[in-house]
């Protein structure tokens, strides 16, 4: 799997976790880091797990692990910080 696809999935799943946790917005990513530990091959199933590290008034932070479904081996570990402030009514 291409590294850009992994980073996009980390960002997407991280955004979904904020929304699912009750945040009225998914936010804007202000920081993203991804550590690539191994490659996912074509037609290989992966699974992802995301955890909220913290949510403040305007920002939140999430970690996301990408794992090989069959073995649970970690393929990538990502961390994103989102700006979650509600937009103005202008």
CB 62 within 8 A of CB 23: no
For the chain, the domains span: 3-83
pLDDT at residue 53 in the model? 92
pLDDT at residue 90 in the model? 56
Provide the CATH topology of domain 3-83: Thiol Ester Dehydrase; Chain A (3.10.129)
pLDDT at residue 46 in the model? 94
CB 82 within 8 A of CB 23: no
Residue pLDDT tens, the chain, 90 long:
788 999 999 999 998 988 787 777 777 899 999 999 999 888 899 999 999 999 888 899 999 999 999 899 999 999 999 998 766 565
How many angstroms separate the CA atoms of 14 and 26, rounded?
Answer: 9
Edge-to-edge strands, sheet with 59-68: 28-36, 74-83, 59-68, 46-55
pLDDT at residue 88 in the model? 58
């Amino acid at each position: 799997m291409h590294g850009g696809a992994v980073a996009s999935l980390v960002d997407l799943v991280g955004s979904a976790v904020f929304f699912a946790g009750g945040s009225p917005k998914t936010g804007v990513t202000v920081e993203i880091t991804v550590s690539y530990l191994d490659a996912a091959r074509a037609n290989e199933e992966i699974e992802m797990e995301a955890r909220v590290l913290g949510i403040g008034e305007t920002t939140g932070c999430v970690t996301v692990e990408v794992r090989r479904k069959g073995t649970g081996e970690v393929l990538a570990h990502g961390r994103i910080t989102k700006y979650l402030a509600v937009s103005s009514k202008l």
